[in-house]
Amino acid sequence: MASSNPRSGARARFRLLLAAAALLCLACQARPTAEAGGGILVVATGADFTGPNELLSASRIDSEVRSNLFLRLLQEQPDYHHHPPTFAPELARDWAFSEDRLTLTFALRDDVLWSDGVPVTAEDVRWTWQAQTAPEVGWSWAYAKEAIRDVEVVDPHTVRFHFSRAYPTQLLDVNEGFILPRHAWGRLPLGEWRQRADWFLDHLVVSGPFTIARWQPQQELVLAPNPRYFESGLPRLERAVFRVLPEESARLAQLLAGQIHVMEGIPPGQAARVAAHPELDLQALWSRQYSYIVWNACRPLFAEPEVRRALTLAIDRQGLIEALYEGYARIATSPILSSVWAHDDSLQPWPYDPQEARRLLAAQGWRDGDGDGILDRDGQPFRFELSTNTGNQLRRDALVLIQEQLRRAGIDAAPRFLDGQALTAANTAHDFDATLSGWAIDTSLDVRYAFHSSEIDDGYNFGCYANPEVDALIERIAGTQEPRDAEPLFHRLQHLLHREQPYTFLWEPQWLVGLDRRIEGASPNALLTFFDLERWHLRPR
């Protein structure tokens, strides 16, 4: 802290003045210390953990923590880029579909214990499914279990899922959600779950590598090894401390100062600083997200595909990526991420071409008749509100920059900032002109949520996009047993979306993680940063 060679006399005097305060640093715990064993890992998180029960709440940090507390039947591999995702055994040793793909049987490991010594059995699997689908629990992802008719306990270590229909992502849907402790949590009636979310912490038993040693809301969550974890020798860390630090600047400063070991979601503008730091390693991971602007085709302004295409041409996406993401993003062209096997690589992103945009708009009758710099048609200026949510600096920045670019093309976009909840409400009610937002997508490649006309009334098709051919393609893809066979259909679908631009697909950002170089055994991926936390350890300084 006090360097030995102050650079100037004034500074030295200043230090003297502060010496009294510095004395307090006797107890200074600024740097996390590695002791014997795997050390204490310190992670900064912006959001607070909300509890161990995933059926009641979900946030990124929740998923990260819970994936270290509980096991799933299978572990989805981060290989979805090259082919439909594959699975590795976790709680299940083996699995097999019946001939008609209507039943799926899992053989469970028989050596896995809950942290209180009770074995994990098929009963837990069946009960978890019941809790997941119970209306009074109201799990957000319960729809993933729609096609599961029943779960049958064949014997303590064999469990069979019965489906009402066969479809390509059955395995993905079965594997959604952790297996929860029936003997511990089953004691609280399902009807009381929502009201007593804190009960689950007091009655926590885990099957994963870690358990919760301490949780102080607004302060920190401390994970400690689960001594009954079935893989011997793991986890290696002594503790993993997740410190709550809502301010991004504070997280970054503490990472740079060596006070924390890991920071997720480094703002691209700060990436260079982290990359240049001798003790830090910057990892840029292609995330499963894309940003977009949805044009509300329920409103006449955006009803014509030509107009939407012109808007895309008027936005300098490459320039924005340079200005906002420092290159840690690439232009998006379709709802299928460009790194994924089903992506149509022949799609050329629409270029930034304001002249062409103006020409297209002029062909649709939009001209600057009154000379005020804003295009108009039938006396109506090309003016609309472009919304995004508050609390996301990059989106806010993007919105402000796009507003400026559109103005150069004669289009007046007024920014509107709503909190996330209000924005979702406005979007689902189609009560907006255009919205800048992003999707974090799963690996199913199902684009029904946003582009099928059946999702207009009660789904996420905010922009009222309706094209019978797109609808038919989405349904045909969903009905194809072998996902690989659907590749031509995926390509045709993307071609249509590219031409009609229901969205302006903006970019696919990278997820930036800063890690202390002393961390070994870490392999963060786009699914989860702490996906294999049990293998992490800190090299002694």
Partner 1 sequence: MPFERGHGLLRWGGAVTLLVLLAAAAAPWISPHDPRQQLDPASARHRPPGTRLAVVRLADGATLLADAVERTPTGLRVQRLGSWRSLPASQVLNLAPRGVDTWRTYPLGTDRYGRDVASRLLWGGRVSLRVALLAVALALTLGVLIGAVAGLGPAVVDAVLMRGVDALMAFPRLFLVLAVAALWRSGELAAVVVLGGTGWMEVARLTRGEVLRLRGLDFVQAARAMGAPPWRIAFVHVLPLAVVPLFAHTALRVGDTILTESALSFLGFGVTPPTPSWGNLIADGQDVLLDAWWVAALPGVAIAVTVLGFALLGDGLRAVLDPRSR
Partner 2 sequence: MTGFLLRRVAASALLLLLVLTATFLLLHLAPGDPLGLLAHPRVPPEQREALRQLWGLDQPLAARYLRWLGGVVRGDWGTSFLFRRPAGAVLLAALPNTLLLGGAALLVQLVVAVPLGVAAGRRPGSPLDHGIRVGSLLLYSLPTFWVGLMALLLFAYGLGLFPPSHLHGVGAESLSPGLRVLDLLHHLALPALVLGLTSAGGLLRFVRSSVLEAMGQPHVLAARARGLSERRVVWVHGLGSALGPLLQLLGLSLPALLGGALVTEVVFSWPGLGRLAWSAMLARDYPLILAVTAWSAALVLVGNLLADLLQAAADPRVREATHAV
Residues lying near partner 1 in the complex (CB under 8 A) are found at 247-249, 252-253, 256, 267, 269-270, 273, 319, 322-323, 354, 390-391, 393, 396-397, 400-401, 404, 408, 415, 417
Contact call for residue 13 and partner 2 (CB under 8 A): no
**Using CB distances below 5 to 8 A depending on partner kind, what does residue 397 bind out of partner 2, partner 1, none?**
partner 1
Q: How far is CA 296 from CA 44, 468, 502, in A?
A: 38, 18, 8
Q: At what angle do helices 487-500 and 468-478 cross, to 10 degrees?
A: 150
Q: Which of 26, 36, 88, 276 binds partner 2 (CB under 8 A)?
A: 26
**Using CB distances below 5 to 8 A depending on partner kind, what does residue 270 bind out of partner 2, partner 1, none?**
partner 1
Residue 80, exposed/middle/buried by CB under 10 A (0-12, 13-18, 19+)?
Answer: buried
Contact call for residue 220 and partner 2 (CB under 8 A): yes
- Separation between Cα atoms, residue 498 and residue 379, nearest integer Å: 30
Point out which residues pair with 262 in neighbouring strands. 43, 515
Question: Which residue lies nearer to partner 2 by CB, 15 or 408?
Answer: 15
Do 68 and 208 form a contact (C-beta atoms < 8 A)?
Answer: yes
- Separation between Cα atoms, residue 383 and residue 368, nearest integer Å: 12
CA-nearest of 539, 430, 531 to 210 is: 531
Beta carbons within 8 Å of 262's beta carbon, 6+ residues apart: 41, 42, 43, 44, 255, 513, 514, 515, 516, 519, 529
Q: Are strands 503-516 and 280-286 parallel, antiparallel or unpaired?
A: antiparallel
- Scanning 47-174, the segments in alpha helix (DSSP H) are 60-66, 122-133, 170-174
What b/e readout covers 104-125, taking b as 16+ CB neighbours within 10 angstroms? bbbbbbeebebbeebbbbbebb
Shortest approach of partner 1 to residue 273 CB, angstroms? 8
Which range binds partner 2 by CB under 8 A, 163-171, 172-180, 217-225, 409-417? 217-225
Which range binds partner 2 by CB under 8 A, 209-217, 430-438, 486-494, 507-515? 209-217
Contact call for residue 28 and partner 2 (CB under 8 A): yes
Question: Which residue lies nearer to partner 2 by CB, 136 or 404?
Answer: 136
**Using CB distances below 5 to 8 A depending on partner kind, what does residue 24 bind out of partner 1, partner 2, none?**
partner 2
**Using CB distances below 5 to 8 A depending on partner kind, what does residue 217 bind out of partner 2, partner 1, none?**
partner 2
**Using CB distances below 5 to 8 A depending on partner kind, what does residue 10 bind out of partner 2, partner 1, none?**
none
| Residues 236-265, interacting with partner 2 (CB under 8 A) | 239, 241, 243-247, 250, 253-254, 257, 259
Do 53 and 128 form a contact (C-beta atoms < 8 A)?
Answer: no
Contact call for residue 51 and partner 2 (CB under 8 A): yes
Do 9 and 515 form a contact (C-beta atoms < 8 A)?
Answer: no
**Using CB distances below 5 to 8 A depending on partner kind, what does residue 510 bind out of partner 1, partner 2, none?**
none
**Using CB distances below 5 to 8 A depending on partner kind, what does residue 540 bind out of partner 1, partner 2, none?**
none
Q: At what angle do helices 354-363 and 305-313 cross, to 10 degrees?
A: 160
Question: Which residue lies nearer to partner 1 by CB, 92 or 263?
Answer: 263
Beta carbons within 8 Å of 328's beta carbon, 6+ residues apart: 268, 271, 284, 509, 510, 512
**Using CB distances below 5 to 8 A depending on partner kind, what does residue 363 bind out of partner 2, partner 1, none?**
none
Question: Which residue lies nearer to partner 1 by CB, 207 or 291?
Answer: 291
Question: Which residue lies nearer to partner 1 by CB, 285 or 323?
Answer: 323
| Residues 129-168, interacting with partner 2 (CB under 8 A) | 135-136, 138, 140-143
**Using CB distances below 5 to 8 A depending on partner kind, what does residue 319 bind out of partner 1, partner 2, none?**
partner 1
Q: Are strands 434-440 and 383-389 parallel, antiparallel or unpaired?
A: parallel
What are the tokens at 453? 């006309």
Which range binds partner 2 by CB under 8 A, 14-22, 63-71, 168-176, 286-294? 14-22
Q: How many CB atoms lie within 10 A of CB 191?
A: 11
**Using CB distances below 5 to 8 A depending on partner kind, what does residue 424 bind out of partner 2, partner 1, none?**
partner 2
Shortest approach of partner 2 to residue 56 CB, angstroms? 6
Q: Is the peptide bond before 235 cis (omega within 30 degrees of 0)?
A: yes
**Per-residue interface string for the shown chain with partner 2, residues 165-204, x marking contact by CB under 8 A:** -----------------------------xxxxx------
- Separation between Cα atoms, residue 455 and residue 476, nearest integer Å: 16
**Using CB distances below 5 to 8 A depending on partner kind, what does residue 408 bind out of partner 2, partner 1, none?**
partner 1
52 SS3 class: coil
**Using CB distances below 5 to 8 A depending on partner kind, what does residue 400 bind out of partner 1, partner 2, none?**
partner 1
Shortest approach of partner 1 to residue 63 CB, angstroms? 25
Question: Which residue lies nearer to partner 2 by CB, 341 or 460?
Answer: 460
Contact call for residue 8 and partner 2 (CB under 8 A): no
Q: At what angle do helices 268-276 and 317-325 cross, to 10 degrees?
A: 50
Residues contacting partner 2: total by CB under 8 A: 61
What b/e readout covers 457-494, taking b as 16+ CB neighbours within 10 angstroms? eeebbbbbbbbeebbebbeebbebeebeebeebbbbbb
391 SS3 class: coil
Binding site for partner 2 (CB under 8 A): 1, 15, 18, 21-22, 24-30, 32-33, 40, 42, 48, 50-51, 56-57, 135-136, 138, 140-143, 194-198, 214, 216-220, 239, 241, 243-247, 250, 253-254, 257, 259, 391, 419, 421-422, 424-425, 428, 458-460
